Chain A
Amino acid sequence: MSGLELLTWARGPGLVLAVGICIFGVILRLIEILALGRQADLASPRQNSTGSGWRTIFTRSLPPPGMLRRAPLTYLGGYVFHIGMAIAVFFFVPHIELFRGLLGLRWPGLPNPLVDIASIAAIIALLALLVGRLVDPVKRLLTNAGDWLAWALTFVPLITGYSAYHHLFENYTLTLAVHIVSVELLLVLLPFSKLFHVFSLFIARWYNGEISGRKGVAS
């Protein structure tokens, strides 16, 4: 299979398959999680906890006092990676064209050099986070196969996208095709791996904030 054949497959049947599986998996898992339910909290709330859950969704993104100093790599690496990745995914013009093709929505993109800087930052941050995970004995103990998988699934699209844009390999078409296929693999495994935090994060944070609020813990 040549690069162009792979590219055409990735833009056609591959994309349909990947998006289909992703949607299927996300809906399946969301229903599964939400339908599990929680035991009713029969105690009356300790204080007025209105909005505690919603607030927590945002406040959990900020480091608690002193934590930034104690775990700078985790926080800064996390910020740089997520923001860089978001810029690369949502503001690179060819990507916006993909969203337009899929959702019919469009928004202005950024010039390529800015997207390039964001991608490099995200790649460096991911590498730093990997090293941090390997070096720190506690983190290493907490790490299982799911974490390595999540890291790899995220890293490969970034590095292949960067390689394609900069023509790091002679066969641009193949590099582009591999990039798209790697994103499709990410989509397929997203609902069934730790990457599902893209969705579950908000549910978990809301629930934690809400239940803590009811019990009198500040969010």
Chain B
Amino acid sequence: MSPLGLEEKMNRPADNTLRIALSDAGISRRDFLGFCATLAAAYALPASSVIVIAAALENASRTSVIWLSFQECTGCTESLTRSHTPTIEGLILEQVSLDYHHTLQAASGEAAERAREESMRANAGKYLLVVDGSVPLGNPGYSTIAGVSNFDMLMETAKGAAAVIAVGTCAAYGGLPAAQPNPTGAVPVSQLIKDKPVINVPGCPPIPVVITGVLAHFLTFGTLPELDGRGRPTIFYGESIHDRCYRRPSYDQGKFAESFDDEGARKGWCLFKLGCKGPVTHNACATTKWNNGVSFPIQSGHGCLGCAEPDFWDMGSFYKALSMPATPVRKAVAGAAAAGVGAGVAVAFANRAKKAAAKAAHETVKVEDLTKKP
């Protein structure tokens, strides 16, 4: 069986739905409803909506998804699909009819490209386009698929899409490929697609439930979730890691780990001094957590890298506190001090000269001068 059962899916009857896929995978209805309840809670919907979401997802059939991977590391796909047992998130992705995903699909070469073209034709105006990875504008040859540049493929595929979901920090903000000096001229999807809704789901990688949360919203309501100014679903990116962090009280009490193996670290104190970027990072890690809610980076003892924020790679060292200088200042200080001494001495001489000139120009007033008539 292929990782997502794509070959099996091809032979499936057309009315096949998530309900069957879930039972095939041995996922109980209880687990599935639990997942729906998580989504309902995330979207701040009433408990009654759980059944609506469940029904919509269960009966969702054939919303076509084309997944394009550009300058990326496949971490986003891994995040969504890799686990010991099939996850509900993975199955939903599968169920929404992943017509093209060059890592996951069985087909290759021309057959693979044909699948994309056929899907685009058959579902024109209705399919969801998921993109991970940034698009290089520097030279089309930096990244191509089947001889087509990333830019051309994106523009061609986006034309008939209902909406574009930029999954991962690379697609959402440029990410690592766009890190200074950005050798490939990498840009995010939102910089290129202006006539379609673009939903940014940043994170390196993004949390699986956040990716599926967006898809589930589309499947349940036929609309996209509310987005913030950066095109992110507010519901998942509305708060910072720091504000939701279970270590926040120790920040307020002034209890900090000074190194990764000191007493403070063992006691689970705040990792701010060790470079945690939680205060300026907006994501749901601290609430939804990872690996089915097991943990998240801070819980496992490492500060947040800020991976869901633009240019996180260029924010200075991962291990320097947020309030520390991001770039070295010593050289500039030495230079400024030397310049200050030079300028000070120059001004001092100028002042002396001025003083001497004033002294030389000084006329002594004599008694006769006072009695002189003008």
Contacts and interface: CB of A to CB of B under 8 A. Distances in A.
Interface of A: 2-5, 7-8, 11-13, 15-17, 19-32, 35-36, 93-95, 97-98, 100-102, 109-113, 167, 172-173, 176
B162 interface: no
Contacts of B273: 93, 97
B343 A28 contact: yes
Contact of A98 (B230, B315, B324, B345): B324
Interface string B287-328: 000000000000000000000011100111000111111110
Contacts of B325: 11-12, 15-16, 98, 101-102
B336 interface: yes
Given A23-B337, A36-B351, A8 B311 contact: yes
Given A28-B340, A28-B347, A112 B254 contact: yes
B316 A35 contact: no
Contacts of A12: 316, 325-327
A176 B280 contact: yes
Nearest to A4: B309
B324 A35 contact: no
A203 to B, nearest CB: 14
A112 B251 contact: yes
Contacts of A112: 251-254
B324 A20 contact: no
14 contacts: A4-B309, A4-B310, A5-B310, A15-B326, A20-B329, A20-B336, A23-B333, A24-B343, A27-B340, A31-B347, A32-B347, A93-B272, A97-B272, A111-B253
A24 B320 CA distance: 26
Contacts of B348: 31-32, 35-36
B323 A95 contact: yes
A4 B312 CA distance: 9
B253 A173 contact: no
Given A5-B311, A20-B336, A98-B323, A172 B329 contact: no
Interface in B319-361: 320-327, 329, 332-333, 335-337, 339-341, 343-345, 347-348, 351-352
Contact of A111 (B252, B322, B340, B347): B252
Contacts of A29: 344
Contacts, number: 131
A10 to B, nearest CB: 9
Given A27-B341, A172-B240, A176-B280, A16 B329 contact: yes
B113 interface: no
Contacts of A176: 279-280
Contacts of B252: 111-113
The DSSP consensus for interface residues of chain A is helix
A47 to B, nearest CB: 31
A167 B238 CA distance: 13
Contact of B336 (A21, A36, A102, A113): A21
Interface residues of B, number: 42
Nearest to A113: B252
B280 A35 contact: no
A173 B240 CA distance: 10
A1 B48 CA distance: 42
B316 A11 contact: yes
B321 A101 contact: yes
B117 interface: no
A111 B254 contact: yes
Contacts of A4: 280, 309-311, 315
Interface in B200-258: 230, 240, 243, 251-254, 256
Nearest to A180: B323
Given A16-B329, A29-B344, A31-B348, A24 B321 contact: no
Interface string B157-197: 00000000000000000000000000000000000000000
B329 A102 contact: yes
B340 A26 contact: yes
B333 A20 contact: yes
Q: Which of B324, B340, B347 has the most CB of A within 10 A?
A: B340
**10 tightest CB-CB pairs across the interface, nearest first?**
A31-B344, A27-B340, A35-B348, A101-B324, A94-B323, A20-B336, A11-B326, A97-B321, A12-B326, A24-B340
A167 B253 CA distance: 17
A16 B256 CA distance: 27
Contacts of B320: 101
Given A15-B327, A35-B351, 18 more contacts: A2-B310, A8-B311, A8-B314, A13-B327, A20-B333, A20-B336, A23-B340, A24-B337, A28-B347, A29-B344, A93-B254, A93-B272, A94-B321, A97-B323, A100-B324, A101-B325, A110-B254, A113-B252
Contacts of A102: 325, 329
A189 to B, nearest CB: 15
Contacts of B280: 3-4, 7, 172-173, 176
Given A32-B344, A36-B351, A16 B310 contact: no
Contacts of B256: 93
Of listed B273, B322, B326, residue having the most chain A CB within 10 A: B326
